[in-house]
Amino acid sequence: MTILAPEIESRPWAEQLTVDEASYREQLVYLYDRSPFYRDKLTAAGFHSAADAGGLADIARLPLTDKRELLQTCTPDNAIGAHLCVGTSEIARIYSTSGTTGAPSFIPLTASDLDNWVTGSARSYAASGIEPGQRIVTTYNAGPFAAGAALGAFDRIGLAHIPVGTGNTERLVRAIEMLRPEAAVLTPSYAAYVVEWAAKRGVDLPGSTVERVLVAGEPGGGEAAFRAALEEGWGARVTEAMGIGDIGVSLWGECEEQDGMHLGARGFVHAEVIDPESGRALDMDAGAGGELVLTHLRHRAAPLLRFRTRDHVEVRTSACPCGRTGTRIRCVGRSDDMLIVRGVNVFPSAVREVVSSFTPRVSGHILVEPRQPGPKQEPPLPVSVELAPGATEDPTLADAIRDRLREALVVQTRVELVPWGSVQRTEYKSKLVRR
């Protein structure tokens, strides 16, 4: 178990905060100097200078940044937005986000931004336990999206990288059989898809050389039952990583303890957790869960301050036996997917987690089908639960799932069992909700 940058990743968190404090204050000076967006936004909020804005201890007094605000500042002359701080000649790369919320947006990076992204991402992926000199097969495309930047992380770790791209399972499985990699990188949905694909064709996936499956791109890799099913199907240890395009790729990565993701991008990014309704900052060090809010500390092209990620996280505060310091997180879902059933927040991924505890009688595939538009729903919430191959419809099973959902998530559901194969599979990211 190697730590890529032990002097940084294992440094006491108080020391990290001292380093971050200096970076943050410099970043604020930079924002006032270079970012029309933040100069205006902070001034409007009554902070007329970097000195007014204070340090990290005062960060919760500053306004939050919403993705929509940034998009609203885009013009034909500046497609990136008013948070752009550098001239064209300083930009080394521009990624796009497809944006779950609609319009595409652009993410510019200077050479140093890109280098920091790769550094943080490398630490996050290395936390999985993969060692330099090993082989890794990856299914990301080096396309327009920020995930492509993660590919640089595999070089940085010193791996033999075998890119096979997205959506060609035949090629992926061939590469595993012929090139014998120790690790594979996929979205959790795709990892589950490959398990079924292999089983259907008699391919011995658990018997392959893959010892580690690194999942990222959507929540799910940390759900206990879902993870257990992936680990059994692959015969490998599953760890997850997570980033957000606007801030950085694979910012967080789980270690072999599998109890939440470490901030691989420590030093580059400061994390907070807020109550998504009130926007109030919560005490992350006390383990409070909520929406993850991130601030760039050393960014140049288009730094963001208190950016609302829309990711809802649980926080782990216990010391991790791996030696990496700082709090860890597990993502429980995206607020875009969140439903509110009679005042209770329900994430479809949490529904899947509860349902998956009924394996092997169910396949683990579910579909939540809200009846009302928007997040607010009247109970019962309809949930289709797919049966395992060969399993027969058993009314007591539907009742048992409904009861456990009510106990675990305090939500009333109407559970319908559907035959195996009827919930659509994906080679990228799953849609757990159908409207």
Residue ranges binding Zn ion (CB under 5 A)? 255, 257, 320, 322, 324
Which secondary-structure segment (H or E) carries 264?
none
Is residue 257 within 8 A of residue 320, CB to CB? The reply is yes
DSSP codes, 417-428: EE-TT-SPP-SS
Q: β-pairing, 381-387 with 183-186?
A: unpaired
b/e code 15-52 from CB counts within 10 Å (16+ = b)? ebeeebeebbbebbebbbebbebbbebbeeeebeebeb
C-beta closer to Zn ion: residue 324 or 365:
324
Q: Minimum CB separation from Zn ion for residue 287, in Å?
A: 16
C-beta closer to Zn ion: residue 195 or 320:
320
C-beta closer to Zn ion: residue 122 or 411:
122
C-beta closer to Zn ion: residue 238 or 322:
322
How far is Cα 387 from Cα 259, in angstroms, rounded to an integer? 29
Q: Minimum CB separation from Zn ion for residue 82, in Å?
A: 39
Q: β-pairing, 212-215 with 183-186?
A: parallel
Q: Minimum CB separation from Zn ion for residue 315, in Å?
A: 14
How far is Cα 344 from Cα 342, in angstroms, rounded to an integer? 6
Q: Minimum CB separation from Zn ion for residue 247, in Å?
A: 21
Q: Minimum CB separation from Zn ion for residue 326, in Å?
A: 10
Residues 6+ apart with CB under 8 A from 4: 122, 123, 126, 157
Q: Minimum CB separation from Zn ion for residue 23, in Å?
A: 23
C-beta closer to Zn ion: residue 128 or 309:
128
C-beta closer to Zn ion: residue 308 or 316:
316
Question: How many residues are recorded in the chain?
Answer: 435
Is residue 34 within 8 A of residue 86, CB to CB? The reply is yes
Other CB atoms within 10 Å distance of the CB of residue 252 = 32
Strand order in the sheet with 381-387: 362-368, 381-387, 413-418
Q: Minimum CB separation from Zn ion for residue 209, in Å?
A: 25
| Identity at 387, one-letter amino acid code | L
Q: Minimum CB separation from Zn ion for residue 93, in Å?
A: 30
Q: Minimum CB separation from Zn ion for residue 262, in Å?
A: 6
Strand partners, 307: 65, 294
Helical H segments across 45-187, by residue range: 50-53, 67-72, 111-126, 150-157, 169-179
Is residue 333 within 8 A of residue 312, CB to CB? The reply is yes
C-beta closer to Zn ion: residue 244 or 320:
320
Q: Minimum CB separation from Zn ion for residue 187, in Å?
A: 22
C-beta closer to Zn ion: residue 162 or 263:
263
C-beta closer to Zn ion: residue 330 or 365:
330
C-beta closer to Zn ion: residue 196 or 211:
211
Task: Give me the residue label for tokens 């010892």.
Answer: 211
Q: Minimum CB separation from Zn ion for residue 254, in Å?
A: 8
Residues 6+ apart with CB under 8 A from 52: 42, 46
C-beta closer to Zn ion: residue 4 or 62:
4
Count helices and strands (H / E) in the chain: 12, 20
DSSP codes, 326-359: S-EEEEEEEGGG-EEETTEEE-HHHHHHHHHTTT
